[in-house]
């Protein structure tokens, strides 16, 4: 059927798309340099590489601000307001305008000062963490908070300056909405974890015999087979090694991820393979023919994280999955595993409050995020002071997780985000967990006998479902609308709580009613 709306002359949208595409090719070059920095670069190359990256990034920024030099974008924006664009064009113009407006509001002097502070603050954070010396980092964090408040003011906001920062990572989300969601979640998690704690003594902690080693070559083979089974296209990607695992996409036809290996513990690479693999499937699933435009861009960090967490937790820590993969694991590492499948399943799902966020299990993880969200929001809103952070941090850990860090190194200094200027970023990790449970619930309804299929080794059926319903749409829908389209409702944290109850109730033999 023909749309009643007349299409915008192809050349206008094409002209804009072409400009965006050029910027994306430049952006990809920066990403290659960053990837290389983490994977291959010799230590002494750091300074020269930082200069290359910052020069290119400056170029992209200026070029982007120049995108409306002849009024092309403003003209299209006018058509958008007059409802004269076709759906595909709406996405391109709406999203480009959104980034353009944000970028335009930040003067060059501000951007440069921020880049300098970020690079300095990150270095100081690293030293402060090594020396367990919060006082050393505090003045830089104070300046960072100041700068971030300034950014919020420049960008503009309705209720809280924190919203302006959050919007950069999770467009459309507000701190008010997050507060409601996180309060519910906290009220569920704290007593739930207490119940688990009571009975958890009977569960053998996750530990592998020290005498057994897991040769890295064999881990590589296992992980590669796993990634391929998920549907990760190795002709459009590769897996390398870096200190911190990450995924980067230069184009849907070149999406890479990294893991790291420990000869004493293969799970330090297996779960990151599932996690990063989930991110990578999203980027490989974006429509390549729309490369450069928002139609080939991920919705938000929260939705991106939902893809990694779905594979890592809902799939990768499930019994059906290991029905298929545990025998393979035993075969790959003869003599290393004596536990039965049932015992093994319990071991990989041990729940235990820890001090370090990145080591947290899927039950306690969100509390780590909630603590960071509450503190960073209060910092930006000016209701707490940087100097009080260590004390407040430790108090919250005691209150929510029942443990207190002995040092700031394993407390407030553990994460790079604040030093790197990523304030407003943490909530996207928790949102990812919540979205993943909701998508998983729908996938199980849509795909008959999904878990049986996973147990038989068919993982691509899930990848294809995610591709059709999520990946292929790019930024066509907001996180809210996408979730509504896919699952029939907007974000509902009850799916996550129900998932935990259904899984950990039987696992720990606890009563999950009420
Ligand atoms: Zn992730």
Q: Report the separation in Å between the CA atom of 370 and the middle of ligand 1, taken as the mean of its atom positions.
A: 17
Q: What is the mean pLDDT of residues 50-60?
A: 90
With 0-12 CB in 10 A as exposed, 13-18 as middle and 19+ as buried, what is 495? buried
Please tell me the chain's helix, strand, coil percentages from 3-state DSSP, rounded to the nearest 5.
70, 5, 30
Residue 7, pLDDT > 70, answer no
Measure 467 CA to ligand 1 centroid, in angstroms. Answer: 18
Per-domain residue ranges of the chain: 10-138, 175-508
Cα 8 to middle of ligand 1, angstroms: 38
- Tell me the CA–centroid distance for residue 279 and ligand 1, in Å: 7
The model's pTM:
0.95
- Cα(448) to centroid(ligand 1), Å: 28
Strands 254-259, 239-241: parallel, antiparallel or unpaired by DSSP? Answer: parallel
What are the tokens at 362?
């899927």
How high is the pLDDT of residue 99?
96
Q: Report CA(245)–ligand 1 centroid distance (Å).
A: 9
Annotated catalytic residues are 276
Centre a 10 Å sphere on the Cβ of residue 214 and count the other Cβ atoms it contains: 23
Ligand 1 geometric centre to CA of 40 (Å)? 22
Over residues 219-265, the pLDDT tens digits come to 999 999 999 999 999 999 999 999 899 999 999 999 999 999 999 99
The alpha carbon of 405 and the centre of ligand 1 are apart by a number of angstroms equal to 25
- Read off the pLDDT of residues 475-503 as tens digits, 9 standing for 90 and up: 999 999 999 999 999 999 999 999 999 99
Q: Which fold has domain 175-508?
A: 1.10.1370
Ion ligand 1: protein residues whose beta carbon lies under 5 Å: 305, 308
Span 404-423, average pLDDT: 96
Which is nearest to 239 in space by CA: 211, 264, 220, 212? 220
CA 308 – ligand 1 centroid, Å: 6
Cα 305 to averaged position of ligand 1 atoms, centre (Å) = 5
Confidence (pLDDT) at 212: 87
DSSP string for residues in 26-55? HHHHHHHHHHHHHHT--GGGHHHHHHHHHH
Partnered with residue 240 across adjacent β-strands are: 258
- Judge whether 251 and 283 are in contact, CB under 8 Å: no
d(CA 65, CA 62): 5
Question: What was the pLDDT predicted at 128?
Answer: 97
Cα–Cα distance measured from residue 459 to residue 315, given in angstroms and rounded to the nearest whole number: 9
Confidence band for 444, pLDDT divided at 50, 70 and 90:
very high
Whether the predicted pLDDT of 10 surpasses 80: no
């Amino acid at each position: 059927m023909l749309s009643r709306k007349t299409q915008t002359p192809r050349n206008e949208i094409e002209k804009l798309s072409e400009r965006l595409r050029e910027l994306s090719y430049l952006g990809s070059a920066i990403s290659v340099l960053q990837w290389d920095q983490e994977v291959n670069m010799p230590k002494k190359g750091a300074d020269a590489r930082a200069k290359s990256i910052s020069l290119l990034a400056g170029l992209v920024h200026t070029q982007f601000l120049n995108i409306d030099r002849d009024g092309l974008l403003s003209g299209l924006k006018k058509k958008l307001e007059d409802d004269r664009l076709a759906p595909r064009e709406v996405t391109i113009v709406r999203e480009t305008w959104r980034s353009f407006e944000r970028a335009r509001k930040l003067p060059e002097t501000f951007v440069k000062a921020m880049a300098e502070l970020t690079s300095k603050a990150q270095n100081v954070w690293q030293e402060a963490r090594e020396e367990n010396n919060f006082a050393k980092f505090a003045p830089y964090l104070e300046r960072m908070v100041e700068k971030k408040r300034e950014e919020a003011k420049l960008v503009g906001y309705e209720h809280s300056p924190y919203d302006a920062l959050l919007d950069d990572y999770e467009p459309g989300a507000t701190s008010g909405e997050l507060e409601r969601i996180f309060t519910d979640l906290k009220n569920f998690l704290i007593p739930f974890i207490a119940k688990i704690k009571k009975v958890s003594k009977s569960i053998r902690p996750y530990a592998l015999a020290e005498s057994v080693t897991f040769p890295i070559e064999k881990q590589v083979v296992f992980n590669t087979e796993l990634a391929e089974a998920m549907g990760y296209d190795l002709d459009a990607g590769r897996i390398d090694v870096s200190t911190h695992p990450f995924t980067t996409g230069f184009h849907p036809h070149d999406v890479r991820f990294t893991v790291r290996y420990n000869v004493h513990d293969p799970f330090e690479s297996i779960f990151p393979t599932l996690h990063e693999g989930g991110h990578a499937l999203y980027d490989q699933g974006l429509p390549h023919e729309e490369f450069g435009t928002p139609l080939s861009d991920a919705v938000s960090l929260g939705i991106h994280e939902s893809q990694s967490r779905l594979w890592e937790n809902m799939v990768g820590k499930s019994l059906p999955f290991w029905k298929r993969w545990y025998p393979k694991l035993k075969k790959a590492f003869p003599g290393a595993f004596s536990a039965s499948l049932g015992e093994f399943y319990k071991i990989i799902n041990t729940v235990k409050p820890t001090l370090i966020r990145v080591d947290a299990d899927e039950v306690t993880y969100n509390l780590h995020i909630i603590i960071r969200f509450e503190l960073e929001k209060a910092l930006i809103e000016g209701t707490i002071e940087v100097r009080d952070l260590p004390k407040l941090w430790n108090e919250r850990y005691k209150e929510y997780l029942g443990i207190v860090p002995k040092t700031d190194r394993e407390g407030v200094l553990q994460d790079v985000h604040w030093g790197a200027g990523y304030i407003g970023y943490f909530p996207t990790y928790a949102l990812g967990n919540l979205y993943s449970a909701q998508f998983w619930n729908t996938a199980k309804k849509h795909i008959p006998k999904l878990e049986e299929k996973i147990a038989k080794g068919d993982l691509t059926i899930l990848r294809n479902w995610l591709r059709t319903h999520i990946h292929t749409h790019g930024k066509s829908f907001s996180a809210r609308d996408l979730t509504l389209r896919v699952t029939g409702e907007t974000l509902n944290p009850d799916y996550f709580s129900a998932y935990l109850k259904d899984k950990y109730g039987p696992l720990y033999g606890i009563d999950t009613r009420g």
